Chain A
Amino acid sequence: MLAILVIVPLIMAAFAAILLRGSPNTVKYLALLASLVSLAIAIYIFVYPSGAQSFQWFNVGGLAFSIGTATQPINMLLLMLVSVITPLVFLYSIGFMDVPSEQPRFYFEMCVFAASMMLFAISSNLITTFIAWEMLGITSYMLIGFWYRKEKAPDAARKAITTILIGDIAMLIGILMIGASSGTFNFATIFTLPITSYLDVALILILIGAFTKSAQFPFHEWLADAMEGPTPVSAFLHSSTMVKAGVFLIAVMLPIYNSAGLLNIMLIIGIVSALIGVSNALTERHIKKILAYSTIEDIGLMFIALGLNAPYAALMLFFVQTFYKALLFMNAGAIMKANDEREDIYKIYGSAINGSIASTMLVGVLSIAAIFPLSGFFGKVSVEVASQNVVVYALILLMELGTSIYIFRWMFVTMRKSFDKSAPVEINYRSIPRSMIAPMYILGVLTIVASAAFPYVLRYIELGAGVVNYTQITVTDAAVSMVLSIFGIIIAYRVYKQGHRLHLESTSKALFNIVYNSQLVNRAYTVITELTARVANTVGYTDYAFDRSTYALSQGATSSGGIIKGIVNGQTNIYVLGFVLGLILLIFSFIL
């Protein structure tokens, strides 16, 4: 069976969404159905892997550009994640996206988005990867800016696409460098290439692409702003799609990065990004942005694991993070919906009112805080174990402490009861549609069982020699981790139980700026933008001046005409003089 068939139902649903835009109800159920069909196909492929398939897209000068699919276990891992999350998100959206007029557009974009990610998951060469990659970028741009009526949404979308464009172009150059020099785009062949400085450059460019897509420092800010998009999009974008693409690509290509000796870049960027994620999540007040920074941290941890050449650990976290992050975003969406779309956690109340939300949220929160035996625990501890270096180990522990503080702050603050009795928050919580609650439960269950399933999923993986392809979690590791997490919960409980705020900004401006450094990064972005604008202005002015100078040239020609015109002044004697001068001129031309 052709693996590529997995995207067909979604693509068809996308087209159906355009054609049937008159009847939104049909569209949403059709999309859900399509995602379920895709899931079925994905399961089929998972059970009966078809192996590598490719067909030539076009061929120029002997360089074949192909669409190729692979069904390696690592591909299957991501494909399964995407195809499981997709129907859940679609189901959640049925309840969440309650404005009929925007549904066709939403499902069109979501279907293309999901299809791109599935294609990405099963791609076996860089060209297919890049197509899926860029389609992800474009659809994410559309989805982040989905509510373009909102004040900030268009800007957020633009920030995302601009950042992603940088990565796309860097990556395209990298891909073409590999293709042009080696004549192939296939992953399998690329692993056998001899390491040269040329290849190093190409790999670094691809890595930059991965960093932009996975929102790593210094390209991470777009992810926080991307919260302007509808919550199902966030749930999708942060769990199985988009941000995972970068990590996944690097994980697939890890052997060559290892032999090229570029792992340290990932390690450093991963650490920096994770720290940024934690510190911002601690200070941020936007309900979804906290989760977004948490994602940056998670992805950072994955890059740390990759940088430590521990793909098993990275993929473990990769796998489990999908579920708890999707779950938490769905919770956040429901909470916001009940609170009239307010975003500041200090203005959000009563997330415990609805038992379904509260219980699933607790599962998610505990998971992210790495509490045994939830899946997050295995993911994070795997990374800790992989870190042979003491400094890295310490940093990861520090992050873990921070994680458990900010996530419980997030939970405790939103759980407060509203003082305003007249507010219909309670009723709102009760009226959260079942289509939104159901996926939460499913994800909750998945979050609990995921870690147990993981070894089965990955049992085929052969990640090459010299890598840590299993994790041995010792009791000590588990204990240290648990103690820290619980310590974090206690701190969060003490500080934030009553919706208390740490007025860090007023106590120490400098410290606040360092911790809440997203604004610094944003300022840096602004500076870069302004510098570009200044260069642009200079060039624009030059262009204008250049334009005017051509007029000067034409003016010169015209005025020379005006001067010559003076000869013809109507005086006959001048004309006779001209005749005589002409004779003299002729004599000279003869002499010469």
Chain B
Amino acid sequence: MVLYSQIYFLTMGYVMVAAVAALLAAGVLSLLHKNKRLHLIISSAILLVILVSSLTLSAYNQSFIVLNLFIVYPFSMFFTALFSMALLLVNMLASEYSTDYLSFSMLLGFSALGIFAIAMANSLITILLGLELITVPTALMIMLSGKKFIEAAMKLFVLGAVAVAAFAFAVSLTLPYGPQFALTPLSSNASVSSGYLIVLALLLFIAALSFDASLFPFNLWVPDVYTGAPGYVTAMMAGINKKVAFVALFEILIVVMYSLSGYFSSAFQVIAVLTMFFGNLVAMVQVNIKRLFAYSSIAQAGFIALGIATATQYGIEASIFQIAAHTFMIIGTFAIVLWLESKNIKTIQDYNGLNYRNSFAAFALTIFMLSMIGVPPLVGFVGKFLLFTSIIQVGFILLTALAVINSFISVYYYAKVIMSMYSKRDKERMDATWSINTTIAICLGFVIVMGLFPQSLMSASALASGSLLLIR
């Protein structure tokens, strides 16, 4: 029996890794058969396979290593499951709204490879590879969507290159301290007394990954690129790419650099507070909805960073929970934004009377925003609650107070959007397309159900964070 389950476990692991490869292959193949619908079905099926297998695998609290580059254990499986779900949604949105879906799907294949690589990374090289695989295809996705998107793509490309370069430099700096780029704790001689190089490495890691995780002040590109990119790519960047950077941060900081936790903890306290204030204060004056949500997602990233600042298992659990929660909130939100943008509805003013155009979309957006504020019983509340308790647990009362203040500031702009949606009654109806509706419904279901019964997600993230800290 034990043997059987062991075989099953290994099989599923290989199936999953194979499925990731298959996704890439399917992307490339789609350029040949040029059938959008077929590709959508194939890629969705593959993503479903990844989802199911990773969900199955995450039930096993054990690990095995694939090709020395990947590792299958609850932490990685949690994120493969999460990202495969998110990719399913983004893929669906893109299939309908992308002008060049086939090239998008090819790029998505590459991107997905990077995403899953980081989620399952067992070595710093894998992460570096993953970062490259994410940044470049994403920039290309934006660029291929049309001429007006080129500026955003170039910004992402140029700045992404800076970040990746910094990351690569940092990776090389770890060489004297660790066992050959593996994701294992630094050897015991790695401490500040042994040299500032490791500190420099830590610093560069934080900077490079903060760039992708949109943490201040490395995130100045975010509003421009999020606004300038087509909606489905924005959804992907905010919902997936950013979260992947957090995953990499967990892997590097908590696993590799844990002996330096004193350093990165204080750094992340500063970063988190700055990011929250930056995101929230600027969001208050935004008129363009997409830009507003770009800033909102920056602020949310600040909240997630609070978990890293604690450097405890519980803090990481809270961050993981909030990542999962925010992924769905923001993808749902950007799905609505994407749909309305295609109807040339962009500013808060334009959102007036959305409730009377499409009450489902308005309701969903309201729920997403309430969840982002942290209103119970929605999933965002549980996430924030876990984050706040995690920082109180380690005694950062002032930090908690600042986070609470930020939570409060955010009410202002979210409420503004809500109010605008529910004003002006005389509007003709507007129906959303199937992909939008499906995406919204899935995200809405997640936000409400996980808010009312958060225990399963909490256990899963606790397991994930526990397993992450176990392998060090």
Contacts and interface: CB of A to CB of B under 8 A. Distances in A.
Interface of A: 554, 557-558, 560-562, 564-565, 567-568, 570, 572, 574-576, 578-579, 581-583, 585-587, 589-590, 592
Given A572-B159, A574-B220, A579-B217, 12 more contacts: A557-B281, A557-B412, A561-B283, A561-B284, A562-B285, A572-B155, A572-B158, A575-B155, A575-B220, A578-B218, A586-B207, A590-B263
Interface string B258-286: 00000100110010000000101111110
Given A572-B155, A590-B267, A579 B207 contact: yes
B203 A586 contact: yes
9 contacts: A558-B284, A564-B282, A568-B224, A568-B282, A572-B221, A579-B159, A579-B163, A589-B270, A590-B266
A561 B218 contact: no
B199 A581 contact: no
Nearest to A573: B158
A576 B220 CA distance: 9
Nearest to B200: A587
B207 A583 contact: yes
A557 B159 contact: no
B54 to A, nearest CB: 34
Interface in B130-170: 154-155, 158-159, 162-163
Contacts of A561: 280-285
B159 A575 contact: yes
Contacts of B223: 568
Nearest to B207: A583
A579 B218 contact: yes
A501 B267 CA distance: 97
Contact of A582 (B158, B210, B263): B210
Contacts of A565: 282, 285
B203 A579 contact: no
A42 B431 CA distance: 80
B203 A583 contact: yes
Contacts of B203: 583, 586-587, 590
B220 A567 contact: yes
Nearest to B158: A572
A582 B207 contact: yes
Q: Which one of B162, B216, B285 has the greatest number of beta carbons of chain A within 10 Å?
A: B285
Contacts of A560: 281
Contacts of A589: 266-267, 270
B267 A578 contact: no
Contacts of A558: 284-285, 412
Interface in B162-205: 162-163, 199, 203-204
A531 B28 CA distance: 86
B409 interface: yes
B244 interface: no
Nearest to B284: A561
Contacts of A574: 220
Contacts of A576: 159, 162
A579 B161 CA distance: 12
A376 B350 CA distance: 86
A585 B270 contact: yes
Contacts of B281: 557, 560-561, 564
A226 to B, nearest CB: 53
A570 B159 CA distance: 13
Contacts of B267: 586, 589-590
A490 to B, nearest CB: 84
Contacts of B409: 557
A581 B211 CA distance: 13
B411 to A, nearest CB: 11
B20 interface: no
A564 B220 CA distance: 11
Contacts of A578: 217-218, 220
B471 to A, nearest CB: 26
Contacts of B221: 572, 575
A579 B162 contact: yes
B245 interface: no
Nearest to A582: B217
A590 B199 contact: yes
A586 B206 contact: yes
Q: Which one of A562, A582, A587, A592 has the greatest number of beta carbons of chain B within 10 Å?
A: A582
Given A574-B220, A579-B211, A590-B267, A557 B158 contact: no
Interface string B403-417: 000000100100000
Contact of A581 (B162, B217, B285): B217
Q: Which one of B199, B224, B284 has the greatest number of beta carbons of chain A within 10 Å?
A: B284
A565 B284 CA distance: 10
A266 B148 CA distance: 93
B249 to A, nearest CB: 14
B270 A568 contact: no
Nearest to B222: A568
A579 B165 CA distance: 12
B289 to A, nearest CB: 16
Nearest to B224: A570
Interface in B37-65: none
Nearest to B294: A568
Contacts of B282: 561, 564-565, 568
Q: Which one of A564, A579, A582, A586 has the greatest number of beta carbons of chain B within 10 Å?
A: A586
B224 to A, nearest CB: 6
Given A576-B162, A579-B211, A590-B263, A568 B220 contact: yes
Nearest to A561: B281
Contacts of B154: 572
A28 B253 CA distance: 91
A329 to B, nearest CB: 63
Nearest to B151: A570
Contacts of A567: 220
Contacts of B224: 568, 570
Contact of B278 (A562, A564, A575, A581): A564
Nearest to B159: A575
A565 B217 CA distance: 13
Interface in B275-311: 278, 280-285
A276 B281 CA distance: 69
A528 B103 CA distance: 84
Given A579-B218, A582-B217, A557 B284 contact: yes
B284 A585 contact: no
8 A-B pairs closest in CB distance: A561-B281, A582-B217, A575-B220, A561-B284, A578-B220, A578-B217, A561-B285, A589-B267
A553 to B, nearest CB: 12
B283 to A, nearest CB: 7
B161 to A, nearest CB: 10
A572 B206 CA distance: 20
Contacts of A579: 159, 162-163, 207, 211, 217-218, 220
A312 B159 CA distance: 103
Contacts of A592: 266
A575 B285 CA distance: 20
A577 to B, nearest CB: 9
A565 B158 CA distance: 22
B120 to A, nearest CB: 28
Interface string B380-401: 0000000000000000000000
A557 B263 CA distance: 31
B265 to A, nearest CB: 10
Contacts of A557: 281, 284, 409, 412
A562 B287 CA distance: 12
A178 B216 CA distance: 66
Interface in B211-267: 211, 216-218, 220-221, 223-224, 263, 266-267
Nearest to A587: B203
B218 to A, nearest CB: 5
Q: Which one of A574, A581, A590 has the greatest number of beta carbons of chain B within 10 Å?
A: A590
A585 B263 contact: no
Contacts of B285: 558, 561-562, 565
Contacts of A582: 207, 210, 216-218
A575 to B, nearest CB: 4
